[in-house]
Structure formats: structure tokens, C-alpha cells
Structure 1
Amino acid sequence: MKIPQLKKKSEIKTCHGISWEDNYSWIHQDNILEVLKDSKKLNPEVRKYLEEENSYTDFHLSDTKNIKKKLFDEIKGRIKLDDESIPFKDFDYEYWTKTTTKGNYSIKLRKKIGTKNIEEIWNGDEEKEKLGVKYFGVGDLEVSFNDKYLAYSLDTKGSEYYTIYIRDIKTKKLVTEKIEETSGVITFSLDDKYIFYSKLDENHRPRKIYRHKLGSNTRDDHLIFEEKSEAFTVGISLSSDDKYFFINTSDHNTSEQYYFSVDEKKPNPKLIKERHKGILYSVNSWNGRFYNHTNENAEDFKIDVTNNLEKPNWKNFISPKEEVLIGGLTFLNDWIIRSETSNALDKLFVRNITTEIEEELIFSDEKVFVPGISLAQRDKNTDNIYLGYSSPKTPGKTYSYNLRSKEKKLVKKEEIPSGHNPDDYVVERVNCVSHDGRLVPLTITKHKNTKLDGTAHLLLYGYGSYGSSMSPSFSTTRLSLIDRDIVWVTAHIRGGMERGMKWWKEGKLLNKKNTFEDYIASAKYLIENKYTSKNKIIGMGGSAGGLLMGAVVNQASELFLGMIMAVPFVDSLTTNLDHSLPLTIGEFDEFGNAKDKKDHFEYIYSYAPYNNIKKKDYPHILITTSLSDNRVLFDEPAKFTAKLREYKTDNNILLLKTEMNAGHGGKSGRDGAIEEIALDYAFALKIAQKI
């Protein structure tokens, strides 16, 4: 089949005295945010190219049709399709969700406490069918405190422009007009007369908080807070004791918070602490005290406490620890629960408020696992919580746990209908030495029968941005590769916070290349220690993890058999220079500001995947993107693919798949998500010659 060719139109770009040629910049439309809302506005020539790439991908993956179907059935067969969540006990009702064999979306249910009559208050499949849309993204689903109203937000394009609806649960009739172009998050007032929401500006940034009176015209909505900085975005939440609303405004690196009482008739947000660059803080209130989770004078965070916010006298409550990330607090009347993260592993601690004795909650004798807690009810006068647990080989388990008696009872276990034996799998945690001596944690999962003599193929997953830590939890999907003798390794590289705030700082801004070096060091370690061999590693990452894949494949392509890049941030220099795009300004403290700072420009220019494609051999590459993605525009992977076709000197396959009705997270619905995973895995098995 003929290889798709994107027309070249040379444009010479210049910044800080440096010039470079971009032959494919023309595909970016000035009205790109309008295109995200309405795909009919897409340049017809660009649409034709994307469709040709889709046909080319289908052609080259035509021999994977059977394995894709098999993978889809396998993955779906490991999911208990007709399942129910554990109920949460509100004051008058218990609420929970369920899924069905045929449905793709969840159903929300409730029953009055003490009765057996179950009500269905939301059915995602029915709502989607009613709207007649191809994409159906649910942003938020909230019930009012008086249990009368259901508020929900929907994105029907994939572009994350959410419309809010509020309806009477009994009559199912809308009680107020829809509110468009919001961030999707909904917060009810305690008297249920209002909702609070954040509105998106013309650059798709939530910078205004409004209060809407139910039943009123949206033109009368009251603006209660506006963020003036284009780099900051805002959100609103209720305190743990239901006494205050907190407005948080932040970028990735700096935050500022305001508060007002829940009974203020005209909300007047008051500042807690002025913002200072690099200082993050988050205040919550409980039982007449205010708790501040902050990195001020505590790189890996601490928690301070005070009795009032008007004239605060902050005192230490949880002290900082070196390279141990201190998490937030969960409150009950007699207990405070908190988390810590170190060496890419989480721990949970519980404190008796009366005795002030703190103990670690011990979950398992497994070395690598993910703990979690959730509240069982809204009433905080209880000793009971839910404890959650999973590991790379052990499906999730949830226990009802009594904090006082320490009794626990299994209340839910993740069922694998097609069968699963944890003893068939081996999980290892090792550390590899990076280029500068830093130890990078690797979580390795393999089938017990897979030989570690260098013959096995290996999938190396990485992300490494925004301080986002990769959790070593159970995944039913990965088993489809692991069962076929492909070792799965998650590299906990810098840019995340697996080793605390320093781990993030060492992987961003002018340290970003450490992220790539950590990943390459991980690949070399796995080769040297016979987990795999050169040309048997398949790299995988999405979004900022796609930036990682793009930078690494330019730098060390010889190590890899293939790359799977999902919605990849590969034209990072062009995006960073465009301050009108939704995320750019808010990410100056993550990636830098190339337009205004020469050193930032030179650094990004030196690693940006699109700008650093070389005339050399590249491995097999599958790139997936979505037409309505507002976070990483489809034109980034499209340009990257076109330029890579022009430069690469090998005969390996290079495929671009564009979902025409999807967003940053891919297609909506359970089956849609499984289809995308099956495509990725079929590609991996094809290049590993396992089909």
C-alpha cells in the first residue's frame, strides 16, 4: 500500500537568534479550539491525510485481526462485567454503582437506609443513547445534600468542554438550564439552593468560580472568584467538616487558597496565605482546627496546624522527612489517617486523636503493593473504614476495618471470571543506577515460567512528568502480554514523586533530560541483567510519557524493537512557544518558557522529539492520537509521523492511528478502552513475532 505523504510547506521559524525549518507547521489551524468543539471545521486536506494514515495502519495491522479479537475477549473476560461497588452510607440513603454485561457505562443506584427498595438514578448507556453521540464522557456526578437533585457534567466531543445539567431525581426533569463550557466539576451548597462551578475561558482554562442558583438564568450567575494569572487554574471544594468552602488556585508549582463559610449569603472568599513561587499548600478544616499540607521549608511536604485562619499560629503536626513524600489527611471523629511515599511504595498511618499514638497499617507480607483507604459513611462518628489492597500480581481486595479493635473483614474481592492464580507470577523491585548515580526503582512483573536468560521480550513503561507517581497496582490487561512471555517493567523515573519532591525537581525544567537518561539507564540495566536483550524491548508511554518515548527513540533507538506512543507530546517546542494553547502557560514551571527565556528555549530545542529526528534507523513505532484532544493536539503526532517518515533509514513500520471521535483519554466506554489496549498489544505481539 502507498505510504501516506503529508504535503511539505516550508516555514522558517526564528527565536532567540536561532532559526529552523518546519515543513509541516501549516497543519496547525489558528482556530484549533473551535476544531476541537466541531470537527467539521478541520482543514479537509489534513482530514484526508489522517484518514489515509488510518487506512495505512489498518492495512499493516490486517494480520493482527484475529489476535486483536482474541486480546479483546481475553481482557474483557478478566473483567466481572456485572459488578457492583461497595455502598457508601450517606445520612438517609446508601449510594453505589453497578455495571452490566451489555452496558459500557456505569449505573448509579441508591436505597433508603433501612429499606429494600432500590432506585436507579443514573444510567450512562441510556443517557448516551438519548443524546445520540459517539463520544460520551462523564465529568462529575453529584447528588444534593437533601437527596433531591442529581447534577452531572458531560463532554460529548472528547475536548473536555463540559456541560452541566441538574435534574430532579424523582421526576427526571431538569430544574435549571444547562451550563456550558465548564471544567465539569460540580459542588452543591449545603442548603442545596446553589451549585458552584468553574468556567473555561477562551483558552480552555478554568479561571473563574461562579455560583448558580437552581432554577435561575445562567446570565444571573454570581462570579465569586476570578484568577488574574493566565498560568493558574481554579477549583472549589468543601472542607472535611462541612464548615467552609475552599477555593484553590494554582499551577503545577505554586498555589494559593481562599475560604468562606458555608452559611455566607454572599460568599466573600478570604485569602489564607499569599502565593510564593515554588510553594504549594492546601488547607483543610476539622473539629475547630485547620491543617496545612505544604512544602514550605519542607521539600517533601509536612503538615502544620492552627486554631484559626484570621490570625494563624502554625505549629508542626507531621514533620518533614528526607525523600519521603508526606501525603494528606483523612479525618474521623477519633482518628486521623495519612499516607507516605518513599522508594515508589506507599504506606498508611493511623493516629488515635485521644492518645496521639500513631501506627502504620500493615496490609501484607508482599514487598510491592498498593494500599488505600476510603470512608464507609458520611457520619464521621465511626471506627470503621474500608481498606484497599492490590499488587502487580494480586487482584484488588477491600476489607471493612475497625480502627479500634483492628478487626478486618473481606467485603469485596476483584473477581477474574476467566481465572487467575497470583502464584503464577513473580514481582521484583530492583534499583538501577542512572547516569549521575541516582537509583531508579523498577517494578518488574513476569510469568513464573518466563526465562531470564536474555531471550524474553520486555515492555518498558514510563511517564516521568508533573510529579505523577506510577503506582505498582494490579492490572488485568497486562496479563495478556505477561502470559505470552513478555516481561512488564514500570520504570519509576525522575519527573514523578516516587522518591519525594526532589525526584520531581530533578526531572523537570532544565533537569528534564534526567527523565530520559533514567529510562535509557533502565533499559540498559534490564539488558545487562538478562531480563531481555537489545532489540527485544518495546517502549510504551502516553502524553508526557509520549514525550519521553520520542526523546529516547531519537537518542537510543538501537536499544528498542519498538515504541508505542499514545497521544504523545512530541512537538513540545512548538507548543511551548504558543501561549494561546490551553496548557502551555500553566506548564512553564514544568517544562520552561522557551519564548521568554533563552536558556529554556535552547534546552527544550535540544531534546524536543520533533526537532531532533535524525537520519538513522528507528524501531517499529505505533503512534495513536485523538482528533478532539485539547491537551496534546493531534497535529503534534501527525507532524512527528510525517517528518519521521522523511528521515528514517530503515524499513520498520511506522503507523499513525487517529481516533476521529475521542479525546486525550481515548475512546469513551468500556469496550472502547479495551479496543485501544488490544490494538497496542496486537502491535507489540506482531513486532515480537508472537502471532
Structure 2
Amino acid sequence: MGGMSSPVTPAPVAKKVPQERTHHGDTFVDDYEWLRDKSNPEVIAHLEAENAYTASRTEHLGPLREAIFGEIKSRTQETDLSVPSRMGRWWYYSRSFEGKQYGVHCRCPIDAPDDWTPPVLSAEVDIPGEQVLIDGNELAEGHDFFALGAMSVTLDGTLLAYSVDTEGDERYTLRFANLDTGEAIADEITGTAPGATWSVDNRHVFYLTVDESWRPDTVWRHELGTDRSADVQVFHEPDERFWVGFGSTRSEKYLTIWIGSKITSEIRYLESSDPEGEFTVVWPREEGVEYGIEHAVVGGEDRFLILHNGVVDGVKAENFTLVDTPVADPTDRRTLIPHRANVRLEEVDAFAGHLVLGYRRDALTRLAVWPLTESGYGELRELEFDEELYSVGAGSNPEWESPLLRMGYTSFITPSRIFDYEIASGALLLRKEQPVLGGYDPADYEQHRDWAVAADGTRIPISIVQRRGTTAPAPLLLYGYGSYESSIDPGFSVARLSLLDRGMVFAVAHVRGGGEMGRHWYDTGKMLSKKNTFTDFVSCARHLVDTGRTTPQRMIADGGSAGGLLMGAVANLAPDLFAGILANVPFVDPLTSILDPSLPLTVIEWDEWGNPLADKDVYDYMRSYSPYENVGAHDYPAILAITSINDTRVLYVEPAKWVAKLRDTKTGDSPLLLKTEMSAGHGGVSGRYEKWREVAFEYAWVLDTAGACA
């Protein structure tokens, strides 16, 4: 592509308005906090100037962006259908159409009550009895942004509750429709959180609202046909550390309220047939104990399955243990699966005749089926797969009495596959494989697991995927996240092929703070151990250089949100290790945010990072790694920061301040770019074509910065 063209637009220089912030005897002078006020025309003008500068510095990449966008589009079967899932008298599925941004949710009738084989639907053939439930394209018309927050059908299949957000601020409007007549119902509820749950009487719906910090804190019950003013507040959580969720057990017999902080949870239940009744606590909240429940019928008795990390026989079950109890007495606990140091139990789903367990071992997801017998529990069977790296998990399984388990499978080189696992025979029935047009052959690519060694001797897993025959040292994109126990599991990406086919290697650093290696992996990458996340990433990068896979001049680091904090920290720690850093909605000013309890989500975050307001040690520790506070006068790699004006999770002001300070402080001439979506939220732009264009923009920059597009 040639060298970087001369910028048509000069780099914006933000004015300095010094503000002092003093805590625990430490004063930090913040020159750019004024950028927080997006109602200030000067702020908008600055962001638009940054956008213009970014556009001018990347103008030469226009042909490459168009080429990548075209590749993504040409490899994607734009008109497609999902595999239908059975619920009641209907098969439910979604459709996509060429030229349309959003999905369409549909259903068609089941021919025979005992038919569990999903119909093979064709986009070219009319589907008998098809009914469109939600057309995202119609709902998005006239809006720059669209997101669906709820789509819930009553058990009898006659009523639909759905919610939409057209601003990107995650406040949804809940509406209803009669599916028998196709008519809209007059009820409308504004300002809700995502999600809606019907009771089994098909008359009451439960929904959540959020507080000023965007925390879901209140459960409401709405009776269809009544005014919103008559809605009943079912539960309110005043403690700002706790989020509230609502749902039902898979059996649909019990409604559940879930209340949870980062480290503590509490669940309340109520028979769905009595929606106006009082909820009962399963296990009163106990600091540091997390648990989840599922309802199973074992030997004819209603029992709760409780997955928890409490103390068992004097030992903390950090990787969780599974117990069951009578519903009538949840304190009468019987251990089904004891705690294991090398296996992290993650979920349990109950069906009429079996349980499904999801867990993690050796940094890979696992799935097992556990039959229920007349006397109790049968023999647990783990499903086995032959790839070195893969991801597997239960899919959409709405039916309680299903003889099949719908599941999903993918890897870095295997497009997503949907299987039905036959419980009785153990047969694995392939229902669909994600189509990749243009002659994609998995044999042209390879994936491997490698291990770096951290400074303290800990082995850090690295996942690597590349096109076969890629010559080392190669340009390499190293991705990391490392927070909230989130795991970056192997998954296929059509867009990523545009990197691999240009000789670029894609790698994931499974750093501490994530959940790949169990709860201990998370605990040793948070709070006062957070720096392990950053140094692990640097260790992985050094390992990839030392083993000859790449060079610092050809390696790009990539991370978003809390992974953007990782990017900012790494930029300060090891700027010489990377040619470029891509930071999406980056959490690069964490101390300012975590010190302000009025900001969205702050109080909840104290269990992840610590409370710097109350604890000087936490303040000092965060102060020592916060990317914004620690920008220094040294040569940084090229940086591309991308954010959204309406993001409520990581405010646009964080990358805006970071870039302003970097531009004022850093040495060298590496380009420093900020791109702000002026009508989007935390997830970025909406609509698949817009998302493809955004990916093409990022990948073109990555390839150019790594010297991989010549």
C-alpha cells in the first residue's frame, strides 16, 4: 500500500483546563476532564476534528478497506436461516436477507406432535404457515441505531413481548403483540432494561428497570391490558453493588429473581402459576458466595440443583460444586459433584429426563449429559471432539421434555456447527454448518496451543491460528481481554480470513483475570493482583518474538473495553514490543471512573478493582497502572482508539482524554488516531453491513501498521 501519506488535516490539540483531583494525600492534575461534557459544543467540535484527522491519516487505506469489506460480504451467505428450535406447537428460527442490516425472527407450525427433527428450510422456497414475529429492519427504519432487547413468547404461543432501543443508551421500550391476530397491543412500557418474562398464566409479564447508574435494580409485574401506573414493584435492590436479573427455570415451573454482585449472589423463587405471590429466598446472601439454581424432577420429587462456591467441609469450593436439595428445604444439601481444582463448573441445565453440565478443563469448554433415572442419577457422559482447540456449549433448548440436546460447536478454523445430540443413542446429528462462500477449506489453516511463562513462573496459554505455509517471522495480531472471568474461547470468524489470507497470524493471550483456567485464574488477575493481566500479555508477546513467530516491528496488540485497559497499560509497560495498538471503547481512565460513584456501574466495579475511595492501597495500586495517569514522554507505537458517543459502560471521554494526553506528552512520530462513532453505544455501530465496514476499517489499519499489505 506504500507509506503513510501526508496528513491533509493537522492533528487536533485539545486545550488544557487543569482540574485537581485529590485523594489520600495524592493530587493529580487532569488537563482534559473538560472533555466529559458532551453537551459542550467545544467537545463535539474536538471529537469531530479527531474524526477528520483520522479520516485523513487513513484515506490511503480506502481501497484496502473496500477490498476487505467485499471479502467479508462475498464469503457470507447473506440470505440465510437459523436451525429451527421447537417450542410448543411451533418451530422458531431467524432469517437474514441480502441487503438488509437486521435479522427477522419467524416461526412456522409443527406438523406432528412427536416430530423432533427440525425442518430443513430453504431461503428460496416459501415456508408453509410462516409467521414473522419481529422484523428488525422495519423497527429500525428512520433510526441510526437499533437493538432488540427482549423477544419473549407466552407458553401457549399466542402473545409476544419485545423491546427495542433506537438510541444506543440501553434503555428499551417494551411492547406487546397478539400473535393470533397479528395486531399490536396498546400496552407500552418505556425505560426498561433488556428482557421480559411471562408467567405461565400468559397474563402477567415481569420486567426490569435501571437506576441512574444504569444498574438493573427493580423488578416489576405488569398485567396485560392495564395501565403502567398499575404495575407492581415486586423487588427492589438498594445496595449499589448488586445487579438484579429475572427469569424462569427451564421447566417454567418457577420464576426466579437473581441478585448478584461480582462476588455474592442471592436467588428468590416463586411458582409461575402464582405470579402475584411472594418470592422465597433459596440461600440468603453470604458475602463471597455465588450460586445459581435450576429445577429438576428427580425420582418424582421437585429438587433444586445449586451450583455454588461456598465452603464445603471447611474448604472454599472456588471452582464450584454441584448440590441438590428438596425445593421445600434448600438448606438440606446433598453433594452431586464435589469441588475439583482442575475443573471449573460453569452451568447446569435440567430437562425432564437428563441434566446437561457445562464446565471448563485445560482452558477448553466441555459438555456432558447426565441421565436422570427413576432412582436418581445415571452415568455422566462427556462429549468428545477431535480438534486441539474448540468451543462447545448448549444451544437453544426451550422444550423441557426434549429427547435431543441442541448444541453449538466451533473452532478457529471450523465454521460454527449446530448439532442435535440424541440422548438415548449418543448420536451427534449435524443440523447446519455456517456457510462460508468462495471455496473455504479448513485444511488451508492451522491452529495450535502454545504456552508462555510469566515472570512468576505461571504458564500462560496462547491460542494461535494461521494459514498453512505462513512464513515466520510473520505479522501478528495479539488479542487479549483478561477481566471479569470472561474467557476468550476459540471461534470462527469470516472477517478474520482477510487477515490470515494476507499472511497475518492471529493469536489470543489467555491472560489472568479471564476464566480460561478456572476461578483461581480470575482471582489472580483482579484487585491488587491486576498487574498480572498486563505482565502476562507482555510475556506472551515476548514469547511470540523469542520463538520467532513475529517481530516487534510486525506485531499489533488488540483489546476492547476492559481489554482496552490492558492495551493502555501495555502501551506504557512495553511500547517497544509493538508496531501498533488497537483499542476499542478502551477503559483507559479507570481511576477517575472508579472514584466517582455517580458514574454508571462504578460501585458494582469495586468488587473487581477494589474501592480506591475508601482504601489508600487500592488507590495507590490503581494509580500505578492507570494508562491515563501513566502516559510518559517516550516513543509509543501507532495507536488507533475507537469509541462511541453514547456508550454507557466505558464513556467516550476516557479514550478522548487518553489520546489528548498522549498527543501532548509522547515522543516520536507514530500516528495517534481517535475515531468516535457519533450515534452508537458500547457495542459500536448497529447493522451488519455497518459492522463489516467497521471491521474493514480496523483490519486495514492493522495490516498497514504491521507492514502486511504491501
| 1:442 alignment counterpart | 462
- Report the Cα distance in structure 1 between the residues aligned to 2:466 and 2:327, rounded to whole angstroms: 53
Q: How does 1:236-635 map to 2 (within 5 A)?
A: 236-287=246-297, 288-297=302-311, 298-310=317-329, 312-354=331-373, 356-363=378-385, 365-375=386-396, 378=399, 380-452=400-472, 454=473, 456-635=474-653
Shift of 1:536: 1.6
| 1:38 alignment counterpart | none
CA contact (8 A) 1:207 1:226 kept: yes
CA contact (8 A) 1:176 1:214 kept: no
Shift of 1:329: 1.3
- Report the Cα distance in structure 2 between the residues aligned to 1:265 and 1:662, rounded to whole angstroms: 37
Shift of 1:172: 4.2
| 2:68 alignment counterpart | 71
| 1:90 alignment counterpart | 87
Shift of 1:581: 1.0
- Report the Cα distance in structure 2 between the residues aligned to 1:629 and 1:421, rounded to whole angstroms: 38
CA contact (8 A) 1:343 1:441 kept: no
CA contact (8 A) 2:249 2:294 kept: yes
| 2:228 alignment counterpart | 218
Deviates more, 1:634-643 or 1:254-263: 254-263
Match of 1:165 among 175, 178, 185: 175
- Report the Cα distance in structure 2 between the residues aligned to 1:275 and 1:402, rounded to whole angstroms: 38
Shift of 1:371: 1.6
CA contact (8 A) 2:253 2:271 kept: yes
CA contact (8 A) 2:647 2:682 kept: yes
| 1:180 alignment counterpart | 190
Equivalent position amino acid for 1:305 in 2: D
**Cα RMSD (Å) of the superposition?**
1.4
Shift of 1:350: 1.3
- Report the Cα distance in structure 1 between the residues aligned to 2:367 and 2:131, rounded to whole angstroms: 35
| 1:39 alignment counterpart | none
Match of 1:8 among 16, 35, 39: 16
- Report the Cα distance in structure 2 between the residues aligned to 1:170 and 1:220, rounded to whole angstroms: 26
Deviates more, 1:466-475 or 1:386-395: 386-395
CA contact (8 A) 1:306 1:313 kept: yes
- Report the Cα distance in structure 1 between the residues aligned to 2:331 and 2:539, rounded to whole angstroms: 47
Deviates more, 1:295-304 or 1:340-349: 340-349
* Structure 2 gaps, min length 5: 1-8, 113-127, 312-316
Equivalent position amino acid for 1:5 in 2: V
Alignment of 1:19 with 2:33, yes or no, is no
Secondary structure in structure 2 of the residue aligned to 1:611: coil
Alignment of 1:119 with 2:131, yes or no, is yes
| 1:49 alignment counterpart | 46
- Report the Cα distance in structure 1 between the residues aligned to 2:327 and 2:52, rounded to whole angstroms: 63
**C-alpha offsets along residues 577-618 of structure 1, whole Å, 9 cap, x if unaligned?**
010111110011101111111111001000000000000000
- Report the Cα distance in structure 2 between the residues aligned to 1:375 and 1:501, rounded to whole angstroms: 26
- Report the Cα distance in structure 1 between the residues aligned to 2:351 and 2:625, rounded to whole angstroms: 48
Secondary structure in structure 1 of the residue aligned to 2:579: strand
Equivalent position amino acid for 2:642 in 1: T
**C-alpha offsets along residues 502-539 of structure 1, whole Å, 9 cap, x if unaligned?**
00000000000000010000000000000101222100
- Report the Cα distance in structure 2 between the residues aligned to 1:670 and 1:616, rounded to whole angstroms: 39
Shift in alpha-carbon separation, 1:634–1:377, aligned structure 2, 3 A: closer
- Report the Cα distance in structure 2 between the residues aligned to 1:106 and 1:97, rounded to whole angstroms: 7
Secondary structure in structure 1 of the residue aligned to 2:238: coil
**C-alpha offsets along residues 610-654 of structure 1, whole Å, 9 cap, x if unaligned?**
000000000000000000000000011000000000011011110
Secondary structure in structure 2 of the residue aligned to 1:480: helix
Equivalent position amino acid for 2:577 in 1: L
CA contact (8 A) 2:199 2:275 kept: no
- Report the Cα distance in structure 2 between the residues aligned to 1:265 and 1:14, rounded to whole angstroms: 50
TM normalised by structure 2 equals 0.93
CA contact (8 A) 2:266 2:290 kept: yes
Alignment of 1:59 with 2:69, yes or no, is no
- Report the Cα distance in structure 2 between the residues aligned to 1:48 and 1:374, rounded to whole angstroms: 46
- Report the Cα distance in structure 2 between the residues aligned to 1:571 and 1:327, rounded to whole angstroms: 32
- Report the Cα distance in structure 2 between the residues aligned to 1:171 and 1:648, rounded to whole angstroms: 64
- Report the Cα distance in structure 2 between the residues aligned to 1:257 and 1:176, rounded to whole angstroms: 33
